């Protein structure tokens, strides 16, 4: 496994619509290596999700998963998954706000409001069609990562650009009081 270089804001690959993963590609060694490398890269940088365009592969695959994570110390944990060709549908319920971060915009956080509960249809690594419901933090991550596949970044979803902050200032001025000081 290799730690891959992450494309940063301004790189056109982040703005491209990624291509669907075909059955043949899904079965290939190259694709399996890509997913293994994406997983290693996400963990190396304490991400909770990573989309293939972020490692300069314009393909519709994302990895998600949150174990104990220093970048999101107070966020709930959720299991690791590889989502191939994911399709997200919002479910009924309140929208939730989250201070999102992104490995392609290092050092920044921005407040985004999204549906709090979604259904995700996807293909797993064995080629099986699967479906899952995500809510709370995992719903936010799923939407953030699948947005990457359509060339969309969380900063496009800010409803108030005043709620964009460096991490240090986020910790100092915006993090909920019960989380304490982050810096």
Which parts of this chain interact with Ni ion (CB under 5 A)? 102
CB of 170 to Ni ion, least distance (A): 16
CB of 9 to Ni ion, least distance (A): 10
**Three-state SS at 52:** helix
Measured distance CA(84)–CA(21) in Å, rounded: 7
Nearest Cα neighbor of 62 from 34, 94, 22, 89 is: 34
Exposure of 99 by Cβ count < 10 A (0-12 exposed, 13-18 middle, 19+ buried)?
Answer: buried
Give the residue with the Cβ less far from Ni ion, 3 or 28.
Answer: 3
CB-based closest residue to Ni ion:
102
Measured distance CA(29)–CA(167) in Å, rounded: 38
Q: Of residues 44, 57, 97, 145, which has the active-site annotation?
A: 145
**Three-state SS at 75:** coil
Q: Is 97 a catalytic residue?
A: no
CB of 148 to Ni ion, least distance (A): 6
Give the residue with the Cβ less far from Ni ion, 52 or 102.
Answer: 102
Give the residue with the Cβ less far from Ni ion, 102 or 149.
Answer: 102
Q: Which residues are the active-site residues?
A: 145
């Amino acid at each position: 496994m290799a730690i891959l270089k992450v494309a940063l804001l301004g790189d056109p690959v982040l703005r491209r619509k990624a291509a669907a993963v075909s059955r043949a590609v899904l079965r290939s060694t190259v694709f399996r290596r890509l997913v293994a490398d994406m997983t290693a890269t996400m963990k190396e940088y304490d991400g909770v999700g990573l989309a293939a365009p972020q490692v300069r592969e314009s393909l519709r695959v994302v990895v998600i998963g949150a174990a104990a994570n220093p970048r999101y110390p107070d966020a709930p944990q959720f299991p690791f998954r590889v989502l191939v060709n994911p399709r997200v549908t919002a479910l009924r319920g309140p929208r939730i706000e989250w201070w999102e971060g992104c490995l392609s915009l290092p050092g920044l956080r921005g407040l985004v409001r999204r549906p709090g509960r979604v259904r995700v249809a996807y293909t797993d690594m064995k080629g099986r069609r699967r479906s899952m419901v995500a809510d709370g933090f995992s719903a936010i991550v799923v939407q953030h990562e699948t947005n990457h596949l359509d060339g969309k970044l969380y900063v496009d979803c800010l409803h108030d650009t005043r709620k964009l902050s460096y991490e240090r200032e986020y910790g100092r001025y915006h993090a909920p009081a019960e989380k304490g000081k982050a810096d």
